[in-house]
């Protein structure tokens, strides 16, 4: 998932500020503790006791962050191992739940919806959903480009402009919600990262839709049937 330079700078600056505050609290706690022991003055004892709170909070936060990171890494390793062994994704049998368009009244369903995250900061997507290392972005426009092929050409041009290397499979027709869509795959290297995409595109005289899905090359064969299941649940009001 790409982020703007301003966003990345904000994350770095925020991280540095938090680390500086934590380090300051630890230094003050150590100083207050030493003074409390050496002078036995009430003021230093109180200061040491009070400064214990943010230090303990910082320790709890660091432990929680470590546990969260460990669990995420373990899940990713398990998913990769399952993909290499050719095991199907659990999402193929999970219950489906719908989300809805913010401006255009479409619906699309996701398996085990509560496990997906919707990143509302991705402004060019109506919805940007991700689960582990699998991503689904939905572009919905109230301007019709006329045919799915027109959307296909535009989407390929946009990806080609961003990728250092890219290749596309032949677009093939697929029926979704009784309407003629096109779907195709793409291999691309974006900012040094190899990515494999599956696109589903549609347009008529009123609407244009792109369902853009992607993951890493190792995970693609395992995840592609999940992407198909999600895309084929797409519905427009009759």
Judge if pTM exceeds 0.95: no
Q: What is the pLDDT of residue 161?
A: 94
- The more confident residue out of 172 and 88 is 172
Residue range 220-229, pLDDT digits in tens: 999 999 999 9
Q: Where in the chain is the domain with CATH 3.40.1000.10?
A: 94-231
Judge whether residue 112 has pLDDT over 60: yes
Q: What is the pLDDT of residue 79?
A: 54
Give the single-character DSSP code of 114: G
Give the single-character DSSP code of 103: S
DSSP 9-70: HHHHHHHHHHHHHHHHHHHHHHHHHHHHHHH--HHHHHHHHHHHHHHHHHHHHHHHHHHHHH
CATH fold for the domain made of 94-231: Protein Transport Mog1p; Chain A (3.40.1000)
* Cβ neighbourhood burial of 99 (10 Å; 0-12, 13-18, 19+): middle
Residue range 171-184, pLDDT digits in tens: 999 999 999 999 99
């Amino acid at each position: 998932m790409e982020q703007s330079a301003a966003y990345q700078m904000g994350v770095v600056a925020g991280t540095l500020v938090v680390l500086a505050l934590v380090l300051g609290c630890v230094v003050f706690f150590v100083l207050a503790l030493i003074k409390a022991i050496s002078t036995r003055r009430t003021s230093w004892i109180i200061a040491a006791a009070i400064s214990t709170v943010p230090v303990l909070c910082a320790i709890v936060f660091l432990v929680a962050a470590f546990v969260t990171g460990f669990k995420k890494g373990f899940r990713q390793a398990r998913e990769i191992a399952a993909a290499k062994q050719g095991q199907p994704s659990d999402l193929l049998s999970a219950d489906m739940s719908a989300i809805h368009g913010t401006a255009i009244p479409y619906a699309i369903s996701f398996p085990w919806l509560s496990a997906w995250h919707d990143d509302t900061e991705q402004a060019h997507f109506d919805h940007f959903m991700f689960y582990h290392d699998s991503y689904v972005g939905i572009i919905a426009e109230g301007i019709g480009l006329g045919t799915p092929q027109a959307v296909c050409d535009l989407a390929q041009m946009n990806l080609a402009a961003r990728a250092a290397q890219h290749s596309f499979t032949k677009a093939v027709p697929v029926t979704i919600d009784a309407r003629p869509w096109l779907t195709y795959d793409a291999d691309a290297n974006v900012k040094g990262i190899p990515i494999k995409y599956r696109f589903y595109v549609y347009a008529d005289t009123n609407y244009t839709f792109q369902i853009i899905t992607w993951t890493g090359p190792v995970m693609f064969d395992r995840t592609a049937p999940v992407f198909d299941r999600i895309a084929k649940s797409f519905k427009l009001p009759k």
